[in-house]
Amino acid sequence: MMSDMDKHVTFRNGQQVCPLGQGTYQMGRRRNEEIQALRRGIDLGLTLIDTAEMYGTEDLVGEAVRDCRERAFIVSKVLPSNASYEGTKRACERSLMRLGTDYIDLYLLHWIGHYPFSETVRALVELQQEGKIRQWGMSNLDVDDMEHILSLPHGKDCAANQVLYNLKDRGIEYDLISWSEQHGIPVMAYTPLGEGRLRNHKTLIEIARRHDATSTQIMLAWVMRTQNVIAIPKASSIAHVEENVRSLDISLTEEDLHDIDKAFPAPTHKVRLAGW
């Protein structure tokens, strides 16, 4: 089984990744099984693995990629409470130790805290210059805050923004997705399955039937329907990983998208960014 690597998202530095990644939030309960699942995902082309110092899964990720580090694209995050200039640098060093690697592919500010963006970005830029991170970005930032980031020295190097996005949480479609496309900043969608609550929705079941697929695969295909969005569902078993990867081969029709919009309407006004 191979994922469709004709599909990819390109970062500002030219790095390309599959638009389907692997999330690790709330993992660690079945460590061996989860490590095998992450490795299976990498074998299938799902090389982007998302973690954070808050998740407590960096050591798990590090173990999973130990024998294939050059194939993996690791994303981690600094907590806002640690995101001062010095604190960001120290947090990154701790993450590198837990991951057992010399560099992090993409390092994000997890959400907005009380430290000025300028402090955090200055540290991120220096970490990048030192080779400890390849790229840096943000998480849970709306358009106005992203504009602020881009206005800072080296701010236009911001490589990504990770936000909540699924069929029930479509607020970012009002302006953030189009703004991100215009600025060449990929959007990473966390909780793309809505924590699994939507799987039994009759509209999704019907669309899945049309494609000989599962509701999960339809939801993921929908999140990834635009070129600039990366979905990072949690996949704590090999079976889930193999189910998820088949979503890359699904092309939703106009009828599918119409039915989805009817069941899960797109925003018609600005919606406060959901998340942390």
Choose, from 25, 55, 165, 174, the residue flagged as catalytic.
Answer: 55
Domain assignment present for residue 270? The answer is no
Bridge partners (DSSP) of residue 197 are none
Tens of pLDDT, residue by residue over 173-221, are: 999 999 999 999 999 999 999 977 799 999 999 999 999 999 999 999 9
For residue 239, give the CATH number of its domain: 3.20.20.100
Residue positions forming the annotated binding site for substrate: 110
Give the β-pairing of 48-50 and 73-78. Answer: parallel
Domain assignment present for residue 253? The answer is no
Helix (H) / strand (E) containing 44: none
Domain assignment present for residue 101? The answer is yes
Tens of pLDDT, residue by residue over 55-97, are: 999 999 999 999 999 999 999 999 999 999 999 999 999 999 9
Domain assignment present for residue 269? The answer is no
Question: Which pLDDT band holds residue 3 (cuts at 50, 70, 90)?
Answer: very low
- Which of 187, 197, 175 minimizes the C-alpha distance to 223? 187
* Domains of the chain: total: 1
CA dist., res. 1 & res. 202, Å (int): 29
Question: Which pLDDT band holds residue 275 (cuts at 50, 70, 90)?
Answer: low
Give the β-pairing of 73-78 and 104-109. Answer: parallel
Domain assignment present for residue 189? The answer is yes
Domain assignment present for residue 255? The answer is no
Q: For the ranges 180-184, 246-250, 267-271, which has the lowest average pLDDT?
A: 267-271
Q: Model-level pTM?
A: 0.95
Domain assignment present for residue 1? The answer is no
Domain assignment present for residue 258? The answer is no
- The pLDDT of 137-163, averaged and rounded, is 98
- The pLDDT of 149-178, averaged and rounded, is 97
Q: Yes or no: say if 38 and 69 are a contact pair by the CB < 8 Å rule.
A: no
Residue 165 in this model has a pLDDT that exceeds 70:
yes
- What's the confidence (pLDDT) of residue 272? 84
Q: 153: buried, middle or exposed (CB in 10 Å: 19+, 13-18, 0-12)?
A: exposed
Residue 5 in this model has a pLDDT that exceeds 50:
no
CA 60 to chain centre: 18
The two three-digit tokens of residue 274, written as one number: 């959901």
Q: Is 25 a catalytic residue?
A: no
Question: Which pLDDT band holds residue 276 (cuts at 50, 70, 90)?
Answer: low
CA dist., res. 184 & res. 207, Å (int): 31
Residue 26 belongs to domain spanning: 15-195+226-248
Q: Yes or no: say if 100 and 62 are a contact pair by the CB < 8 Å rule.
A: yes
Residue 4 in this model has a pLDDT that exceeds 50:
no
